Structure 1
Amino acid sequence: MAEVGVRGDERWLFVGSGGNPPHGNTIYYWWAKTIAAAGIQPFKLHDCRHFFASGLIAAGCDVVTVQRALGTTPPPSR
């Protein structure tokens, strides 16, 4: 990110038309094309998210840290 930077008020790393994140269909298209070009067994992009979360848990990160790393917000405390 230090080399590429982020864009817009929301600080998106990947930007589609109108300065918003790319549409899901666009992401799927480029992901499928990349997988095919790499010549590897197809898998979902979302599987990378699970792999990342599992690695954080295996490294001893607590649930809140994992949630924040994934860009999700923990539920409010009661």
Structure 2
Amino acid sequence: MQMLAAHIEKIGVYGPQQWLLNGSDGMPPHRNTVGYWWRKTVKDAGLSGVRLHDLRHFCASGLIAAGCGGVTVQGPPSEP
């Protein structure tokens, strides 16, 4: 979490929604683009069996360990 905070402090965020990653249209990159780069990175690192979804769990665990409540980590409720 400290590394992510340092990265955000150095690089910043994008747009009024404060996106962490920036796609070509000012919105977050399309999920297919993110998936492609994830699979390429995992392959280039010589790893296997590491899913992009695993990062979600890793981040959530880090936030909870840092004192954030589970409901906060889940994010806002989806709209009906």
Q: TM-score range by the shorter chain?
A: 0.7 to 0.9
Q: Residue 73 of structure 1 corresponds to which residue in structure 2? A: 76
Instruction: Summarize deviations over 1:3-33 as a string: whole Å, max 9, x none.
Output: 0101111111111011000001100110001
Question: Alignment partner for residue 10 of structure 2, among 3, 18, 21?
Answer: 3
Q: 1:36: which partner in 2?
A: 43
Aligned length: 70
Larger-gyration structure (1/2)? 1
Matching residue of 2:29: 22
Higher relative contact order (CA 8 A, sep 6+): 2
Q: Sequence identity of aligned pairs in percent?
A: 56
- Give the TM-score taking structure 1 as reference length: 0.72
What is the rounded CA distance, in whole Å, between the counterparts of 1:39 and 1:21 in structure 2? 27
For 2:46 and 2:57, how far apart are their aligned partners in 1? Answer: 22
The aligned runs of 1:44-63 (5 Å cut-off) are 44-57=51-64, 59=65, 61-63=68-70
Runs (5+) with no aligned partner, structure 1: none
Q: Evaluate the alpha carbon distance shift between residue 62 and residue 8 of structure 1 in structure 2; reply closer, same or farther with a 3 A threshold.
A: closer
Which digits, 9 at most, give the CA deviation of each residue in 1:44-64, with x for residues without a partner? 11111113323444x365322
Q: CA RMSD in A?
A: 2.0
